[in-house]
Structure 1
């Protein structure tokens, strides 16, 4: 098969029903509609290979799975850590800092006005597909959002 008819990468299952599923490549955003559903559920990440279905090559099939995991997204009642609060204090309102975690994952810290904290948390959580795509790209299983007035942290955790 040529590069146009087969692709290996990390995919997020963005939709799934009994008859088909939609996989989105987390690196380039390319969407692959599967001709059938091989048993995947929305919110899962898959490292594997998809191949275009002949003769039209408009639908795809999942031909190989190297790894597969479910990604959870949750809002925590816990406050951001001292390190996250320090990062927020070092930046201006509306700015974001990304830091690698020790081990696997990342932490994103946003500084917002105290009055806008709840709205910022809601905006972050509304971007479910974006959160899950970043988590899949990082190879992690959990996304945890923490907040306190003026600070929102998004933790991508194994």
Structure 2
């Protein structure tokens, strides 16, 4: 095996070891030691297998390190996000680039599924990987649920935000 250079998200961290996931290939690497990494850290780094068995990896160079904050916001989606959801079918995902960097993902959902969907997004490792690819440092999840059961659909907004 050879060294790999790329963007990695820390998915698990203990005092003695850590697990990183390549955001492009989804390949997982168990590190034989933990050089001070914490869950949700993003590394632009080079990792290499440790001899002699080459089953565990080590970080050999770190070009950049940042952390991604996952925020379960109590704010409602913006008016623009609500308009995007209103134009979508239930279950559809609408993706829109933000001015500058980042993206906004908007889902139109059955009202009763909106809370569970928000929790799923916040717990999904792919949310972190997507944020790392987009160079975001904050992922903000907002939702809107109609007050009456027949009041329409729920709206879930996931905002991938830069510095």
**Do they superpose with TM above 0.5?**
yes
Are 1:126 and 2:123 matched, yes or no? Answer: yes
Render the CA deviation track for 1:24-55: whole Å, top value 9, x for unaligned: 10111111111111111111000010011112
- 1:96 paired residue among 80, 93, 98: 93
Which residue of structure 1 lines up, in the alignment, with residue 29 of structure 2? 32
Q: What is the Cα-based RMSD across aligned positions, in Å?
A: 1.1
Secondary structure of the structure 2 residue equivalent to 1:120 = helix
TM norm structure 2: 0.90
Q: How does 1:67-146 map to 2 (within 5 A)?
A: 67-127=64-124, 129-146=125-142
Q: Name the CA distance, whole Å, in 2 between partners of 1:103 and 1:65.
A: 26
TM norm structure 1: 0.93
Q: Contact (CA 8 Å) 1:23, 1:33: kept in 2 or not?
A: yes
| Structure 1 unmatched ranges of 5 or more | none
Which residue of structure 2 lines up, in the alignment, with residue 152 of structure 1? 156
Q: Name the CA distance, whole Å, in 2 between partners of 1:92 and 1:13.
A: 35
Q: Name the CA distance, whole Å, in 1 between partners of 2:39 and 2:122.
A: 16
| Structure 2 unmatched ranges of 5 or more | 146-153
Q: Contact (CA 8 Å) 1:48, 1:65: kept in 2 or not?
A: yes
Offset, 1:86? 1.1
Secondary structure of the structure 1 residue equivalent to 2:113 = helix
Q: Name the CA distance, whole Å, in 2 between partners of 1:70 and 1:119.
A: 25
Q: Name the CA distance, whole Å, in 2 between partners of 1:99 and 1:53.
A: 42
Render the CA deviation track for 1:101-133: whole Å, top value 9, x for unaligned: 111111100001223222222222232x22111
Q: Contact (CA 8 Å) 1:44, 1:68: kept in 2 or not?
A: yes
Aligned residues: 154
Q: Name the CA distance, whole Å, in 2 between partners of 1:143 and 1:110.
A: 15
Are 1:22 and 2:19 matched, yes or no? Answer: yes
